[in-house]
Amino acid sequence: MDTNFSHVISCLIIDDEQAAHLALIRLIETVPWLELKGRCNSGVEAIDMIATLRPELIFLDIEMPGLSGLDLIGMLPEPRPQIILTTAFRDYAFDGFENEVNAFLLKPIKTARFYRSVINVRENIRAKSIQI
């Protein structure tokens, strides 16, 4: 990993469970190059928030009322943010793969898995910045 890459990654939490928000906030706060720009409780609410905040990374739940996380992914314009799915259901792993998400975190989220996932996202963003 390139330790000279000092880019701060803006992120957004989209989840209908407050406990998931709190767990992710605690983890995000331990990573100096992650900046939480906002959080919302539904996919519908997220549409406007994504357009306004333009986060580089989204922590996205799948099962939410109104609009599922997978439906939201299909609505995102290109270039879309990096996406880490956060769900209590392993059955969605294949759906995540088909939607080309960056990582799949099973709730309750394990700290080491969270760190591996955000480091991979950071490397993806770094690699894209070199290509430009």
Residues 54-77: tens digit of each pLDDT: 999 999 999 999 999 999 999 998
**Mean pLDDT calculated for residue range 22-50:** 97
Q: Is the pLDDT of residue 95 over 90?
A: no
Q: 13, 15, 11, 12: which is closest to 65 by C-alpha?
A: 15
Helix (H), strand (E), coil (C) string for 21-48: HHHHHHHHCCCCCEEEEEEECCHHHHHH
The domains of the chain are located at 9-131
What per-residue confidence (pLDDT) applies to 1?
A: 42
Q: For residue 95, what are the CA distances in angstroms to 5, 110, 115?
A: 31, 21, 22
pTM exceeding the 0.85 threshold for the entire prediction: yes
Residue 3: the pLDDT is 52
Arch. (CATH architecture) of 9-131: 3-Layer(aba) Sandwich (3.40)
Residue 97 confidence (pLDDT) above 90: no
One-character DSSP codes across 40-109:
ESSHHHHHHHHHHH--SEEEE-S--SSS-HHHHHHHPPSSPPEEEEEES-GGGHHHHHHTT-SEEEESSP
Task: Indicate whether 93 pLDDT > 60.
Answer: yes
Q: Which amino acid is at 77?
A: P
Strand order from edge to edge, sheet including 57-60: 34-40, 9-14, 57-60, 82-87, 103-106
Which pLDDT score is estimated for 15?
A: 97
Distance CA 34, CA 45 (A): 22
pLDDT of residue 2 exceeding 60, the answer is no
pLDDT at residue 105 is higher than 90: yes
